[in-house]
Amino acid sequence: MITMPAFKDLYEMIRQLMDEEEEEIENTINEAEKEIEGMIPLYTRYEEGGSLYYIIDVPFINYSTVYVKIEKNHLDFSCQDKKQRKYTLRIKIPEKYQNYDVKVINRKGFVKIVLSKT
């Protein structure tokens, strides 16, 4: 008769409990991410040479979902990342830039929006 040492059974039991806990934590994180709609991305603003620049940082951005609209005195930005999380941003534009042309530049990991004179 062959018997297994008790520590192997204990090891397997602990490993199974850890796997179950990791799966539960992962499910909780996934549910929380799905509940968050319209997360606000980080952005930086600077002026240079008569133009206004916004650098908007969205991790793992899906560039095909980028939407930019200028309405009255606001810039509206929205997009999704590759995990389908939605990001939205509404920025008040200073008066002197409200009638400027808008250029959207996609870069690796961020979007650059330039408001400049025609």
Please provide the size of the chain in residues: 118
Q: Which of 88, 93, 54 is nearest to 72 (CA)?
A: 93
Question: Does one domain contain both 59 and 111?
Answer: yes
Q: Do 63 and 104 lie in a common domain?
A: yes
pTM for this prediction: 0.65
Quote the pLDDT of residue 113: 94
Same domain? 68 vs 110: yes
Task: Give the count of domains, the chain.
Answer: 2
- Which CATH number fits the domain that encloses residue 82? 2.60.40.790
Residues 6+ apart with CB under 8 A from 74: 90, 91, 92, 93
Question: CA 115, 68, 75: angle at the middle one, nearest 5?
Answer: 60
Could you tell me which of 108, 112, 116 has the C-alpha nearest to residue 55?
112
Question: pLDDT tens digit string along 65-88?
Answer: 999 998 888 999 999 999 888 899
Q: Are residues 47 and 83 in the same domain?
A: yes
Question: Same domain for 15 and 47?
Answer: no
Query: Chain centroid to CA 22: how far?
Result: 24
pLDDT < 70 stretches in the chain? 1-8, 33-38, 118
Q: 2 lies in which domain range?
A: 1-35
